[in-house]
Structure 1
Amino acid sequence: MPHDPPASTVLAGLDTIRGRQEDLYRDLHAHPELSHQEHRTASEVAKRLAESGFELHTGVGGTGVVGVLANGAGPTVLLRADMDALPVEETTGLPYASTVTVDGTPVMHACGHDVHVTCLLGAAELLAGATGQWAGTVIALFQPGEEVSDGARRMVDDGLGDLVPRPDVLLGQHVLPMRAGTVGTNPGPTLAAGDSMRITVYGRGAHGSMPLAAMIVVRLQTVVAREVAPGEAAVLTVGSIRAGTKSNIIPDRAEIQLNIRTYDERTRSDVLEAVRRIVDAECRASRSPRDPDVELFDRYPVTDNDAATTRTVAEAFTAYFGDRAGELGRWTASEDFSDLTGAFDGVPYSYWGFGGVDPDTYDRAARQGRVSQDIPANHSSGFAPVLDPTLDTGTEALVVAALAWLAPHDR
């Protein structure tokens, strides 16, 4: 007797959990927590994983939570969601908008991590409720501190590799300013490496620091054009310059903050070296009284999807989503998801995107060529994924991708 595909059977339970997922999402959105402060979120995650029958590991890397559900012999699949929010004041006007502040700083889920948590908890519940459809082991990993680039590394350093079975594949996803209901995959470099740099330069007397800083900023604009090989991509953004307090006082120091995005380790190294070389040379040319201080922080790896793994995910998505599955392409956003490979050397991974923008709103903006102008992107104060069909799509994607590896149940 023929049987329905496992994904369709497992996901038939969506109707029964949709209301709980929406309530959970609203609650998480209204109660965001900054990086490594995700105590309330982690507690809710642990409670729900336990209710679904997962073996729990809490406090991993600080506030990380890992659930393991073993269901007989078969492959092991790790599914990951991040939990932290951002220091952003929400302007969405939603009835469940965040009013949280930490030491006077507004906090908001401006990057969709509340969506990620909700979807992974939903996928975990559905897989746990349909163990007759698959065999193997599911690891549900909820990571802190993605927004400060060190959450995955902290979990690895805290012994993640010794806590759980070695996975056969690592899978993750991100809600993006795409049409809700769609999913997209991309083999190879997909999200950029991110490097933030803080540079302090020094001046004295009439040779103040601000003219020196201005000359450095102008010169830095040549890096991408002159230092990056044709065919490679890089973005260098000077996001902040701070110097002085009064119009008639010449400051003796200036601070420049910049961010660099690249997709290739050689390009990354070349751009960073070029920045240091230009800063040093301009300081010498201006007879700076001391060497500049250069600090690298918030460093993210390239998300370089394994081609074969991503092909498997893409084929599963096409079979389930039909024409709602497509190509993601490269994004200049950065992620620390791939740092989890530090606990499982050699394990392949794939990371995809799914849409969170109301379809009518997105289509209207697309027709007018105004997607980038009219659609609030991640990290925006107006970022607000629609619940329907975003939560369903994110939950479906995790289940479908996991079942592409998990063995069919021996009937």
Structure 2
Amino acid sequence: MFLRISGFVLLSALALSAQQSPPKSEVQDVFPEAKALYVDLHEHPELSSHEERTASVLAGKLRALGYEVTEHVGGTGIVAILKNGAGPTVMLRTELDALPVLEQTGLPFASKVQAKDGAGHDVPVMHACGHDLHMSALFGTAEIMAKAKNTWQGTLMLVGQPAEETISGAKRMLADGLFTRFPKPDVAVALHDANEYSAGQVGYVPGFFNASADSIRITVYGRGGHGSRPDVTIDPVLIAASITVRLQSIVAREIKPGVAAVVTVGYIHAGTKGNIIPDEAEMGLTLRARDPKVRAHLVAAVERVAKAEAEAAGVETMPKLENFESTPSVYNDKMLAAHIVPVLDAALGKGNVAENEPIMGSEDFAEYVNAGVPGFYFQIGASDPEKLAAAKAQGKLPPGPHSSKFAPVLDSSLNAGITAEVAVLRNLLQGTPADVKNFTEHK
């Protein structure tokens, strides 16, 4: 039995269930070790670009399964390759890094780690975004794929990416030859846990899913002096405040209503004492958009506003603008999504796969898609069904990623993550690279 979507032939959900969804016994066999890995990683989180232990542990486990593992790709990144005859190359990515968050989950294996951040400050560290769940699911998936090579053909490429939280790790891995030193994938897949879904459920978005992100630092230069003599100074605090107010007009008056765009000023740092006008002020911004043209407009408009307000104040030196963290929007290949959704339906059961709305959060999985690889990025539920229902009844959600109280419902979330990844990989690792291209927009 076949289905035709956009003119291309796809296996029916019934056939997919029989051929590619992992039997429960396969997942049960790998689950204890995957869960133990989760506990270990959760107890030992590491900040972005410092994932030395994390990468070493995951690399060692993948190497023991028979994967050809390369470490220190783009810093602390790892690439694990398993070749299984002729066929397509499919990439599955996980993140390695944690966040500077003080854990308040009350778990018996809660993190007690303290580390120094990039500025040298002592900070608590926690896997508050669920990257430990992602790594554990990838490991369980890797073990099943290695043990059942009769169920697929081609090249499986597993990527452990550092520094997702600073949206810099994907760029570094690509710059270090991810798609030249290693086979360039025909498609790339990744998942992320989500508190808006019950454990065992999946959410997806065809087309633009996550927004682009640009972190802008603006240094405003003035002329300092005594707070009682503002007439002989040029006040950078006032200029920064004027810039902040004016920036809000970009989205309100320059972007078409209904088009997704965000300009947020997260901080203004200036001065040391109430009666001193400082020489400079620093501002931190985040810009979000889905459409690349809107993104370019936001970046240009921020520079225009900052310089215009400074000029209006009569500055002697124009502001300095630095775009120090950036990533494009995550775009899910629509044809690939249409192909994979029945696979997930078959693996997790009808009613457990739902189309979601795009979000304004960002993810540097976008860099791989931007490098010419069709991608599918989806969400895996992490919430207790009863707690989720109770929270929604009050118009809320349970604690989610980046919260100090975020803790996935481990057993069912991890089980579903492994099940979903194995089903998707087995489906994609069939036939030839040309066959894979037939169900993507990249011809």
What is the TM-score when the length of structure 2 is the normalising length? 0.87
Measure how far apart 1:136 and its partner are.
2.0
Measure how far apart 1:61 and its partner are.
1.1
Match of residue 379 from structure 2 = 353
Counterpart pick for 1:202 among 198, 221, 227: 221
| Structure 2 residue identity aligned to 1:392 | N
Q: CA 1:4–1:199 in 2, change beyond 3 Å: closer, same or farther? A: closer
> Quick check: 1:227–1:271 contact (8 Å CA) kept in 2?
no
Secondary structure at the aligned position of 2:216 is classed as: strand
Q: CA 1:4–1:173 in 2, change beyond 3 Å: closer, same or farther? A: closer
Out of 77-86 and 379-388, give the one that drifted further: 379-388
Counterpart pick for 1:19 among 9, 15, 32: 32
Measure how far apart 1:9 and its partner are.
4.1
Measure how far apart 1:125 and its partner are.
0.5
Measure how far apart 1:217 and its partner are.
1.0
Match of residue 104 from structure 2 = 91
Match of residue 53 from structure 1 = 66
**Alpha-carbon displacement from aligned partner over 1:171-230 (angstroms, at most 9, x marks no partner):** 111112222221011111100000011111122241422122111111111111111123
> Quick check: 1:10–1:133 contact (8 Å CA) kept in 2?
no
**Alpha-carbon displacement from aligned partner over 1:5-55 (angstroms, at most 9, x marks no partner):** 233345531112222222111110110111121111111111111221111
| Structure 1 residue identity aligned to 2:430 | A
> Quick check: 2:330–2:369 contact (8 Å CA) kept in 1?
no
Alignment of 1:360-371 (within 5 A): 360-371=386-397
Measure how far apart 1:162 and its partner are.
3.0
Match of residue 53 from structure 2 = 40
Distance in 1 of aligned mates of 2:82 and 2:23: 15
Distance in 2 of aligned mates of 1:102 and 1:234: 35
Distance in 2 of aligned mates of 1:173 and 1:153: 19
Measure how far apart 1:338 and its partner are.
2.5
Q: Find out whether 1:105 has 2:133 as its counterpart.
A: no
Q: Find out whether 1:185 has 2:190 as its counterpart.
A: no
Q: Find out whether 1:330 has 2:358 as its counterpart.
A: yes
| Structure 2 residue identity aligned to 1:192 | A
Alignment of 1:129-168 (within 5 A): 129-168=147-186
| Count of equivalent residues | 402
> Quick check: 1:10–1:127 contact (8 Å CA) kept in 2?
no
Gaps of 5+ in 1: none
Measure how far apart 1:391 and its partner are.
0.7
Out of 11-20 and 241-250, give the one that drifted further: 11-20
Measure how far apart 1:72 and its partner are.
2.0
Measure how far apart 1:341 and its partner are.
4.3
Q: Find out whether 1:383 has 2:396 as its counterpart.
A: no
Match of residue 273 from structure 2 = 246
> Quick check: 1:11–1:126 contact (8 Å CA) kept in 2?
no
Secondary structure at the aligned position of 1:395 is classed as: helix
Q: Find out whether 1:221 has 2:239 as its counterpart.
A: no
Distance in 1 of aligned mates of 2:16 and 2:209: 36
Match of residue 436 from structure 2 = none
> Quick check: 2:22–2:347 contact (8 Å CA) kept in 1?
no
Q: CA 1:208–1:188 in 2, change beyond 3 Å: closer, same or farther? A: same
Secondary structure at the aligned position of 1:221 is classed as: helix
Match of residue 440 from structure 2 = none
Gaps of 5+ in 2: 1-14, 117-121, 432-443
Measure how far apart 1:400 and its partner are.
1.4
Secondary structure at the aligned position of 1:164 is classed as: coil
> Quick check: 1:90–1:381 contact (8 Å CA) kept in 2?
yes
Secondary structure at the aligned position of 2:72 is classed as: strand
> Quick check: 1:10–1:126 contact (8 Å CA) kept in 2?
no
> Quick check: 2:151–2:426 contact (8 Å CA) kept in 1?
no
Match of residue 283 from structure 1 = 310
Distance in 2 of aligned mates of 1:377 and 1:21: 22
Measure how far apart 1:233 and its partner are.
0.5
Counterpart pick for 1:114 among 132, 145, 148: 132
Measure how far apart 1:3 and its partner are.
11
Counterpart pick for 1:7 among 11, 20, 26: 20
Q: CA 1:378–1:9 in 2, change beyond 3 Å: closer, same or farther? A: closer
Distance in 2 of aligned mates of 1:11 and 1:124: 16
Give the % identical residues.
45
Match of residue 62 from structure 1 = 75
Distance in 1 of aligned mates of 2:89 and 2:289: 32
Measure how far apart 1:320 and its partner are.
2.1
Counterpart pick for 2:419 among 391, 396, 405: 396
Distance in 2 of aligned mates of 1:396 and 1:221: 45
Q: Find out whether 1:172 has 2:190 as its counterpart.
A: yes
**Alpha-carbon displacement from aligned partner over 1:217-270 (angstroms, at most 9, x marks no partner):** 111111111111233201111111111111222222111111011001110011
Measure how far apart 1:368 and its partner are.
1.7
> Quick check: 2:17–2:347 contact (8 Å CA) kept in 1?
no
| Structure 1 residue identity aligned to 2:220 | V
Distance in 2 of aligned mates of 1:90 and 1:247: 36
What is the TM-score when the length of structure 1 is the normalising length? 0.93
